[in-house]
Amino acid sequence: MEMIRLGCTELRVTKTAFGALPIQRISHSDAVKLIRRAYDSGINYFDTANMYTDSEEKLGSALHDVRQNVVISTKSGGQDKKTVQKHIEQSLRMLQTDYIDLFQFHNPADLPDPTDPDGPFAAVLEAKRKGYIRHIGITNHRLPVAKAAIDSGNFETLQFPFCHLASEKDLELVRQCKEKDMGFIAMKGLSGGLLNNAEACYAFIQQYDNVVPIWGIQHEWELDQWLELAARDVHLTPELEKVIAQDRKELAGDFCRSCGYCLPCAADIDIPQSARMSALLRRSPYEKYMSDEWHEKMHRIENCIHCNACKSRCPYGLDTPALLQKQLKDYDEFYAVHHND
Ligand code: SF4
Ligand code: SF4
């Protein structure tokens, strides 16, 4: 399997990597089987987070006896030294390891300050001195924070959403990381499920030799799909470029990336799904959204109290309450025609 160098970390990782967020949704034994099969098939890089409930524990169970052969990155969103210290200790325990290859600050709203003695960075520097952490990176969904992270010189890697809907500014981040010899880890390569041609998504990212995508994997068929694309060494073709052009046309403008950073919602609205319902209805099998359960979920939008908490937290600057109202209207029109299909 193709390997790449993860920037100045000098870590050698497979260009096809395993995003371990979705394994939260499957049983322990199924997750262990899936992770182990990924490892046995040649994948050596696994990305998780303290926040992904039991994901670290499942990775630990699956990989503890081959620890020296894999690269593991995890994250903490802790905002002070003590919390991050606790998270690192917990990660080491759950992962059944005595070191983390790459620790990442998990989507901070502002850059952590390495000179603050009580801040999250202090815990990370201390852990690095003690050998618990080998490299320090950052993840983010906000362009200005990502840009500032690159400029700061304090991080060895950047994890950022990246797929063929990337804007010129997103592409600039990839170029800047390359210039600064920072590893670029691509999350949301399928844009949270909105992109449905995996081959096009894979081929697009293959163009960038400094980018490693972490594909979220929950099912055996998803693993098979990425392994098959890696084995075929898929690159862009005129046909795939047409798919990409069509996706860009259909999903142009502001759309919800399903990142979930707007939550919690005072009205218990499932914003990451509801705010992109129009696209889901047209780009994935729509039948499941015609259920009573989904009808009720979508109609929670009527209970929105317009507190604007979601809007203020959205890293993409979306007017989330307005977007939800539009989605509900579209959903109701679609439902009227299709709910008996
Ligand atoms: S504005 Fe509406 S959708 Fe947004 S958090 Fe408040 S209640 Fe929820
Ligand atoms: S509305 Fe914004 S914050 Fe919420 S899920 Fe969508 S993109 Fe993310």
CATH of residue 134's domain is: 3.20.20.100
My answer on whether 229 and 277 are in the same domain is no
Ligand 2 environment, Cβ below 6 A: 256-262, 271-272, 275, 314, 316, 318, 320
Is residue 313's pLDDT more than 80?
yes
Spatial distance between the Cα atoms of 7 and 158, rounded to a whole number of angstroms: 10
* 208-265 pLDDT tens trace: 999 999 999 999 999 999 999 999 999 999 999 999 999 998 887 778 988 888 999 9
Is residue 176's pLDDT more than 80?
yes
My answer on whether 211 and 135 are in the same domain is yes
Question: For residue 289, what are the domain limits?
Answer: 271-338
pLDDT at residue number 192: 80
| Domains: count for the chain | 2
Is residue 77's pLDDT more than 90?
yes
- Residues 221, 222, 228, 231, CA torsion sign: negative
Residue 57 located in a structural domain: yes
My answer on whether 316 and 182 are in the same domain is no
CB-ligand 1 contact for 55 (6 Å cutoff): no
* 100-118 pLDDT tens trace: 999 999 999 999 999 999 9
pLDDT at residue number 23: 96
Please give the distance, rounded to the nearest whole angstrom, from the Cα atom of residue 271 to the centre of ligand 2: 7
My answer on whether 168 and 202 are in the same domain is yes
CB-ligand 1 contact for 318 (6 Å cutoff): no
Residue 266 located in a structural domain: no
Is residue 52's pLDDT more than 90?
yes
My answer on whether 80 and 214 are in the same domain is yes
Residue 38 located in a structural domain: yes
- The mean pLDDT of the chain is 95
* 119-139 pLDDT tens trace: 999 999 999 999 999 999 999
Q: Whose CA is nearest to atom 8 of ligand 1?
A: 265
My answer on whether 71 and 15 are in the same domain is yes
Q: Residue 303, CB half-sphere, CA atoms under 13 Å: how many?
A: 12
Is residue 64's pLDDT more than 90?
yes
Closest CA to 59 of 51, 69, 48, 68: 48
Is residue 316's pLDDT more than 90?
no
Q: Whose CA is nearest to atom 2 of ligand 2?
A: 314
Ligand 1 pocket mutation pick from 269, 270, 300, 326 by most atoms within 8 angstroms of CB: 269
Task: Write down which residue in 231, 246, 261 finishes a domain.
Answer: 246
Residue 139 located in a structural domain: yes
pLDDT at residue number 311: 96
Please give the distance, rounded to the nearest whole angstrom, from the Cα atom of residue 160 to the centre of ligand 2: 15
My answer on whether 95 and 201 are in the same domain is yes
My answer on whether 89 and 235 are in the same domain is yes
Residue 258 CA: which ligand 2 atom is closest?
Answer: 5
pLDDT at residue number 255: 84
Residue 271 CA: which ligand 1 atom is closest?
Answer: 3
pLDDT at residue number 259: 83
Residue 265 located in a structural domain: no
pTM of this prediction exceeds 0.75: yes
Residue 137 located in a structural domain: yes
My answer on whether 215 and 277 are in the same domain is no
Residue 280 located in a structural domain: yes
My answer on whether 118 and 46 are in the same domain is yes
Please give the distance, rounded to the nearest whole angstrom, from the Cα atom of residue 309 to the centre of ligand 1: 6
pLDDT at residue number 261: 86
Give the rounded distance of the alpha carbon of 233 from its chain centre.
Answer: 23
My answer on whether 210 and 301 are in the same domain is no
Residue 257 located in a structural domain: no
Is residue 43's pLDDT more than 80?
yes
Amino acid type, 164: H
My answer on whether 309 and 211 are in the same domain is no
Spatial distance between the Cα atoms of 232 and 25, rounded to a whole number of angstroms: 29
Residues 263 and 233 sit within 8 Å (Cβ to Cβ): no
